[in-house]
Amino acid sequence: KIIIILPGLFWITCLFSAVIGLLRSFGSEKEMNAFSMLLCSPIDRANIYIGKMIAVWVFIVITQLVTIPLFTIFLGFNIPEDIFSFIGFILLTDWALAAVGTSVSGIGMRTRMGEVLVPLLLYPLLTPVLISAVKVTSELMRGKEYINYSFWIMIIFTFSVVFSIAGYLMFDAISEE
């Protein structure tokens, strides 16, 4: 009965790949002190956050473009009949992962043990998003109506908006030494 655990397995795979991308997002700039030079550039620091968030979002989407066919071929992942709702839901969930992850990665970048701190902060913060994503994926795979999973979509949307705005407003303070 792998079909029952398949939505959870899919989103855990997406989360682990997102964490790898998040760690590399700020890690490459930390090595040569490039982040300090980026902060000296004549742009608003909040725009750096938006750029990082979009880059992480694109990384997660590309990763899912690879993993969804593999899950379909090897594990029998059924793509829902309402493909547009499924694509919109995946893009919204990826936005939530990118918004929360970029904020947490910015915090972890300035610490010595950032590679350990980022997952420790990220997993508890993303737990409601992952639970919601698994519930929505399960309902979509069963062909249920929107009313059955609208509550879970609202949780994902709320996390996306709140962490995007909070990250945008706080990135100036996060990026300070």
Span of 41-45, 123-127, 156-160 with lowest mean pLDDT:
41-45
- Token pair for residue 78? 């059924």
Nearest Cα to Cα of residue 170 among 53, 59, 58: 53
Nearby residues of 133 by Cβ (< 8 Å), 6 or more positions away? 7, 11, 89, 93, 152, 156
Asked whether residue 137 carries a pLDDT value surpassing 70, the answer given is: yes
Q: Report the Cα 127 to chain-centroid distance in Å.
A: 11
The predicted pLDDT at position 2 comes to 62
Cα separation, 111 vs 133, whole angstroms? 30
Residue pair 137/11 in contact by the 8 Å Cβ criterion: yes
70 three-state secondary structure: helix
pTM of the complete model: 0.90
**pLDDT tens digits for range 63-109:** 999 999 999 998 888 888 888 989 999 999 999 999 999 988 888 87
**pLDDT tens digits for range 37-71:** 777 777 888 888 899 899 999 999 999 999 999 99
The predicted pLDDT at position 96 comes to 96
Cα separation, 65 vs 63, whole angstroms? 5
* Amino acid letter for position 23: L
The predicted pLDDT at position 128 comes to 96
The predicted pLDDT at position 55 comes to 92
Asked whether residue 1 carries a pLDDT value surpassing 70, the answer given is: no
Residue appearing with tokens 């705005």: 165
